[in-house]
C-alpha cells in the first residue's frame, strides 16, 4: 500500500468519524414535528430525469439512538439537535448522476477530473516525487477480521484510480452506463452541475427530499429497515470490512434504480453512493441554527468549514451513505445522519446528484 502524504490527508476525511466521536450530548431530546409540504405545483415543464420537490417546513436532524459508539445502527452526533427548517421547492435528479451522463459532460467539455490531474509539489510539499501521480482513494476488503478503529486498513490511495477506473487501472466501467459515477471530487461535481444548468443541493434540500414527506422516521422509507423483508437500499451485509455478503443483491455499487424510490420518487437516496451537498461541514452547525430559534429558512451551511478531527481540511457535507454502510460501523443510511469529506477527495463510494431551483426553470 502506498501511503504518502496525500493518502494521509485524504483517507481520514472519508469514513472514519463514526467511531471516534465523543458520546452524544443530546441523547433522547430529539423532537420531530410533522412535515408541512408546500402546496404549489411544479412550475413550468417537467424537467427530464428530475422530480419536483415541493419544499416546505420540516424537522431536520436525527435522533441519536444510542449512548455509545458501539450501539449500532445509530446516527452521527453532529446530526443533533433536531431543528425546524424551511426550504423552497426545487427539482432534483431522480437518481445519482450516472457514468453515461458524466461521459456526455466530459465529451462536451473536455473536463479533466481532480483524480486524473497530477498532484503538485505546491499542494503536497513533503510528498516524495514518485508519489505525485494522479489517483484516488479506493476501498479494498481486508483478508481477515480487523478492529474497526483504523480505516487505513481498508482505504488506500491508488494510482490511476478515477471515474473511468473506479478501483484502479485494472478496473473499468464497461457495461456500467447506468451505474452512479464515482471518484468525483467536489469541484468535479460542481463543474458537471454548471454544465447541466443545475447546481448541487444544500444539505437541507437533500434531507427534505430524502424524507419524502415523512417526519422523524429513521429511514427514507419509514422506521423498519426491511419492511416485509424487502431490501430498500444498497448497503453492506456480512463482516465489515472483510466480505460483503451481498444479501441485498449487490456486493459493491448497484445500477441506479435497483431499489424502490422514496415518497418523492427519488432513487438511491440512501445507500449505494454517498452524495455531495453544497454546504461546508461543521459539526456544530445545527446547534448554531437551533440557538437562533424559529425556523431556519433555506439554510446554506456555515460560512466556513471546520472539522475538529482534521482542522486543516476543508470539508463539505456528504449525504445518503453508501454500499459500504453497515450496522457494525457506519449506519449512515439513516436519513438524518451526516457525512463529510475533503473537497478534493473522490472515492469509489462517492458520487452526486443535482438540483435545479424553481427560478431556473423555463416557464
What residues make contact with Ca ion under the rule CB under 5 A? 234, 248, 250, 323
What is the DSSP-derived secondary structure letter of residue 313?
-
The whole-angstrom distance between residue 118's C-alpha and the CA centroid of its chain comes to: 25
Q: Could you say which of Cu ion, Ca ion, none residue 332 binds, taking C-beta under 5 to 8 angstroms by partner kind? A: Cu ion
Phi-psi region of 286 (alpha: psi -120 to 50; beta: other; left: phi over 0): alpha
Taking CB under 5 A as the criterion, the residue among 332, 338, 340, 356 binding Cu ion is 332
Taking alpha carbons only, the member of 354, 270, 285 closest to residue 316 is 285
Select 69 or 357, whichever has its Cβ closest to Cu ion: 69
Mark the segment that binds Cu ion (CB under 5 A) among 199-207, 220-228, 284-292, 330-338: 330-338
Report the nearest approach of Cu ion to the CB of residue 322 (Å). 6
Select 183 or 235, whichever has its Cβ closest to Cu ion: 235
Pairing of strands 56-60, 36-37: antiparallel
Spatial neighbors of 37 by CB under 8 A, at least 6 apart, are 54, 55, 56, 213
Select 99 or 234, whichever has its Cβ closest to Ca ion: 234
Report the nearest approach of Cu ion to the CB of residue 94 (Å). 23
Report the nearest approach of Cu ion to the CB of residue 270 (Å). 11
Chain positions 297 to 326 lying near Cu ion, rule: CB under 5 A, are 321, 325
Select 261 or 301, whichever has its Cβ closest to Ca ion: 261
Residue number closest to Cu ion, CB atom? 330
Q: Could you say which of Ca ion, Cu ion, none residue 250 binds, taking C-beta under 5 to 8 angstroms by partner kind? A: Ca ion
Report the nearest approach of Cu ion to the CB of residue 102 (Å). 23
Select 206 or 323, whichever has its Cβ closest to Ca ion: 323
Report the nearest approach of Cu ion to the CB of residue 321 (Å). 5
Report the nearest approach of Cu ion to the CB of residue 332 (Å). 4
The whole-angstrom distance between residue 49's C-alpha and the CA centroid of its chain comes to: 20
Q: What would the DSSP string read from start to end of 51-93?
A: EEE--EEEEES-----SSTTS-S---GGG-S-EEEEE--EEEE
Count CB neighbours of 237 within 10 A.
Answer: 16
Cα angle: 151, vertex 154, 160; to 5 degrees: 120
3-state secondary structure of 136: strand
Select 15 or 181, whichever has its Cβ closest to Cu ion: 15
Select 82 or 233, whichever has its Cβ closest to Cu ion: 233
Report the nearest approach of Cu ion to the CB of residue 116 (Å). 26
Which CA distances in Å does 39 have to 88, 89, 171, 294? 11, 10, 47, 21
Should residue 290 be labelled a site residue for Cu ion when binding is judged by CB under 5 A? Answer: no
Q: Could you say which of Cu ion, Ca ion, none residue 191 binds, taking C-beta under 5 to 8 angstroms by partner kind? A: none
Q: Could you say which of Ca ion, Cu ion, none residue 248 binds, taking C-beta under 5 to 8 angstroms by partner kind? A: Ca ion
Q: Could you say which of Ca ion, Cu ion, none residue 78 binds, taking C-beta under 5 to 8 angstroms by partner kind? A: none
Grid coordinates in use for 103?
461521459
Contact status, residue 138 vs residue 348, Cβ threshold 8 Å? yes
Report the nearest approach of Cu ion to the CB of residue 349 (Å). 8
Chain positions 119 to 178 lying near Cu ion, rule: CB under 5 A, are none
By CB under 5 A, the count of residues binding Cu ion is 4
What is the DSSP-derived secondary structure letter of residue 359?
G
Task: Give the whole-angstrom CA distance, residue 300 versus residue 317.
Answer: 11
Pairing of strands 274-280, 355-357: unpaired
Select 165 or 332, whichever has its Cβ closest to Cu ion: 332
Contact status, residue 221 vs residue 211, Cβ threshold 8 Å? no
Pairing of strands 83-87, 296-297: parallel
Grid coordinates in use for 74?
445509530
Taking CB under 5 A as the criterion, the residue among 92, 191, 330, 335 binding Cu ion is 330
Grid coordinates in use for 293?
430559534
- Residues near Cu ion (CB under 5 A) are 321, 325, 330, 332
Amino acid at each position: 500500500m502506498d501511503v504518502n502524504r496525500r493518502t494521509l490527508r485524504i483517507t481520514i476525511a472519508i469514513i472514519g468519524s463514526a467511531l471516534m466521536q465523543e458520546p452524544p450530548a443530546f441523547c433522547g431530546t430529539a423532537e420531530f414535528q410533522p412535515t408541512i409540504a408546500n402546496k404549489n405545483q411544479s412550475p413550468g415543464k417537467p424537467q427530464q430525469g428530475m422530480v419536483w420537490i415541493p419544499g416546505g417546513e420540516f424537522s431536520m436532524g436525527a435522533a441519536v439512538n444510542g449512548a455509545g459508539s458501539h450501539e449500532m445502527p445509530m446516527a452521527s452526533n453532529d446530526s443533533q439537535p433536531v431543528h425546524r427548517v424551511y426550504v423552497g421547492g426545487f427539482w432534483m435528479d431522480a437518481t445519482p448522476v450516472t457514468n453515461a451522463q458524466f461521459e456526455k459532460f466530459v465529451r462536451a467539455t473536455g473536463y479533466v477530473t481532480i483524480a486524473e490531474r497530477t498532484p503538485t509539489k505546491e499542494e503536497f510539499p513533503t510528498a516524495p516525487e514518485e508519489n505525485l501521480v494522479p489517483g484516488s482513494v479506493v476501498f479494498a476488503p481486508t483478508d481477515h477480521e480487523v478492529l474497526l478503529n483504523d480505516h487505513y486498513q481498508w482505504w488506500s490511495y491508488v494510482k490511476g484510480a478515477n471515474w473511468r477506473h473506479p478501483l484502479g487501472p485494472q478496473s473499468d466501467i464497461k457495461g456500467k452506463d447506468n451505474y452512479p459515477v464515482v471518484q468525483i471530487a467536489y469541484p468535479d461535481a460542481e463543474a458537471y452541475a454548471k454544465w447541466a444548468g443545475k447546481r448541487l443541493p444544500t444539505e437541507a434540500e437533500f434531507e427534505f427530499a430524502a424524507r419524502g414527506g415523512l417526519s422523524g422516521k429513521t429511514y427514507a422509507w419509514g422506521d423498519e429497515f426491511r419492511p416485509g423483508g424487502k431490501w430498500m437500499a444498497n448497503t453492506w451485509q456480512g463482516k465489515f470490512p472483510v466480505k460483503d455478503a451481498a444479501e441485498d443483491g449487490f456486493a459493491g455499487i448497484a445500477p441506479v434504480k435497483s431499489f424502490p424510490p422514496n415518497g418523492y420518487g427519488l432513487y438511491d437516496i440512501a445507500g449505494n453512493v454517498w452524495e455531495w451537498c453544497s454546504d461546508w461541514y461543521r459539526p456544530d452547525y445545527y446547534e448554531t441554527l437551533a440557538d437562533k430559534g424559529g425556523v431556519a429558512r433555506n439554510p446554506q451551511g456555515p460560512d466556513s468549514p471546520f472539522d475538529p478531527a482534521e482542522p486543516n481540511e476543508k470539508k463539505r457535507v456528504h449525504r445518503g451513505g453508501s454500499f459500504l454502510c453497515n450496522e457494525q460501523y457506519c449506519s449512515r443510511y439513516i436519513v438524518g445522519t451526516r457525512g463529510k469529506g475533503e473537497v478534493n477527495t473522490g472515492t469509489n463510494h462517492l458520487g452526486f446528484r443535482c438540483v435545479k431551483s424553481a427560478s431556473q426553470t423555463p416557464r
